[in-house]
Amino acid sequence: MIIELSTSINAPIEVCFDLARSIDLHMESTKQTGEQAIAGRTSGLIGLGETVTWQAKHFGIRQTLTSKITRFEYPNYFTDEMLSGAFKSFRHDHLFFYADGQTIMKDVFDFESPMGWLGKLANFLFLTRYMRRLLVTRNQVIKQAAETS
């Protein structure tokens, strides 16, 4: 399943790029799930080859997920990929473009649920909508932080 989002931000591309890889701002944007960085890079700006382990409560269940930054070109893109967690797999490409005085932040979130056809059913019924909402909320927090800095 692939979720694509584009967010226009009135701020320099470098500011947007750094806010998107901020562990601290990520935790702020996911406070509704109680998400905390518990291992690897737990604060500051994550970079190439670094990992972070997150713990959060989703659907009433405490979950742990570890991801790694596998691609990184400042300030144009970075990719984080799941190493372990509830998904069968996920890859999140964060792309940044500067056009007409704005930064366009594009997310391409490609995930696969576990459990075969049951996972596909969960994607259809609720999981894709849930993940999209989390990404939209995160992007709005990044936008607000960038435009007020």
Give the pTM: 0.94
- The token duo for 86 is 């509830």
Nearest-CA neighbor of 67 among 55, 80, 58?
A: 80
Look at residue 9 in the predicted model and tell me its pLDDT. Answer: 98
Cis bond upstream, residue 12 (ω within 30): no
Whole-angstrom distance between the N-terminal and C-terminal Cα of the chain?
34
Q: In this predicted model, what pLDDT tens digit does every residue of 19-37 receive, in sequence order?
A: 999 999 999 999 999 999 9
C-alpha torsion 57→51→13→76, nearest 10: -120
Residues 54-67, mean pLDDT to the nearest whole number? 92
* Distances from the Cα of 95 to the Cα of 15, 71, 128, 131, 145, angstroms: 13, 11, 20, 18, 18
Q: Which domain holds residue 104?
A: 2-148
Classify the C-alpha dihedral 9-15-20-22 as positive or negative: negative
Assign residue 142 the CATH number of its domain: 3.30.530.20
User: How many domains is the chain built from?
Assistant: 1
Look at residue 118 in the predicted model and tell me its pLDDT. Answer: 84
123 pLDDT above the threshold of 80:
no
Q: In this predicted model, what pLDDT tens digit does every residue of 1-17 receive, in sequence order?
A: 999 999 999 999 999 99
